[in-house]
Structure 1
């Protein structure tokens, strides 16, 4: 469907979501932009389109949950029955981390996506206070695609310290702390690459990294959102949505934790 006004959409149409066809049927007793949703001839729920002058907002009628993307509304209808329990587990995990005084949210901006080096490293505490924020001379080219994302050029880094100069302060800030990142294996991997280049020794890098407790927020946040991909057989990962400044993204991650932690429990106990 390419018509932007849902009121003009057909009474009956099919849309493929994650490589699986979904049938939409408008009830015969209404001309409102409301459709019953079927998969393999089985009713899975209803969605309604609400317009506000821009893209339509798709509301799942049973839960009143709203999505800008119709595909996401369908993914919410596909949630497994275990989602409520899993979401509460994520909320409890977020509350435990926010209660930990050693918590740091970290973000690393890099020279690229593959074998990247750091151009900015930032860490904020659970209150969002900056405890580390430094631009880093990468001694490596910065890919144009990376500059287009974060805007950090080699000219901007001309007077920035190298990672080796920052390592003593970084060690004081990180060691003995819980470091949480969004897609932790990427950020941790960048620091590991920097340590390996500095020490020339994988064992020394592993020893440094082992003095930090690492936590990843991407998968838990995907579970918390609960948008099920039948193609992947898992909850769909979500973009963090930050401005690609390391401090701002780290603070946004703390805000995501607060959002997850505030989830009310539905347990009868």
Structure 2
């Protein structure tokens, strides 16, 4: 039997950060450098503000493909929902088969700003909120690749994956894709696979369950499988 491969410094630091947040670090262990989680585990969920976000892209490889749209929806459990989205010029052709998925064409993004111009606006919109994304690894990997490509700096932003969370909350659903969940929950909907719409569906599904069901951030992290992803150009 092979021993597990050692964690890289960054991965180890982030696991330590989550363990510290959850109160499972033994006294006397020296803490490595890690991004600071913005809220204590005891924070009441109904006092938090969230931003659900989604991306649309030119393909599925974050190192070779580009983001063409970011949608974001800021909300709290009992407050208003504020939505926005940005079309982004990927500086490359959008494949025909993906145009049929998200409907974004070369003409639509020809005069749009590039990622480096949009990202500061996204940061400002998300400021002071906890980020959510469905199948978050996809969106986070693309944003991190774009940050590196553009040579941008960014604060390290924690992201919770609602695919994991919704699997915990809605075990009877036959599928946990956003279209399936929206239809299974009989929520009003329009087009899927546009970033603004999909971020809005995440917010609706999240609010439907969590109001009155969750007490603290610790509960939410547990439902997320105690897994936190990070937007970070490092």
TM-score range, shorter chain: 0.5 to 0.7
Structure 1 174/262 Cα, relative in aligned 2: closer, same or farther at 3 Å?
Answer: closer
Matching residue of 1:83: none
Alignment match of 1:248 (pick from 193, 197, 209): 197
Matching residue of 1:133: 85
Give secondary structure in 2 for the equivalent of 1:156.
helix
Equivalent-residue separation in structure 1 for 2:48 and 2:125 (angstroms) = 15
Structure 1 159/109 Cα, relative in aligned 2: closer, same or farther at 3 Å?
Answer: same
Which runs of no fewer than 5 residues in structure 2 stay unpaired? 1-40, 180-190, 215-234
How do residues 73-222 of structure 1 correspond to structure 2 at under 5 angstroms? Answer: 97=45, 99-101=47-49, 103-115=50-62, 116-126=65-75, 127-130=80-83, 132-199=84-151, 208=154, 210=156, 212-222=157-167
Structure with the bigger RCO (C-alpha within 8 Å, sep 6+) is 2
| Structure with the bigger percentage of strand | 1
Give secondary structure in 2 for the equivalent of 1:113.
coil
Structure number with larger C-alpha Rg: 1
Equivalent-residue separation in structure 2 for 1:243 and 1:100 (angstroms) = 27
Shift of 1:254: 0.9
Equivalent-residue separation in structure 1 for 2:165 and 2:175 (angstroms) = 9
* C-alpha distance after superposition, 1:6-61 (max 9, x if no partner): xxxxxxxxxxxxxxxxxxxxxxxxxxxxxxxxxxxxxxxxxxxxxxxxxxxxxxxx
Segments of 4+ moved more than 4 angstroms:
95-98, 262-265
- How big is the alpha-carbon RMSD for the aligned residues of Structure 1 and Structure 2? 2.7
TM-score (norm 2): 0.59
1:260 aligns with 2:209: yes
* C-alpha distance after superposition, 1:163-203 (max 9, x if no partner): 1122332232234431101011111111111101100xxxx
Equivalent-residue separation in structure 2 for 1:147 and 1:97 (angstroms) = 38
1:238 aligns with 2:183: no
TM-score (norm 1): 0.52
* C-alpha distance after superposition, 1:210-238 (max 9, x if no partner): 1x22111001101222159xxxxxxx751
Aligned residues: 156
| Structure with the bigger percentage of helix | 2
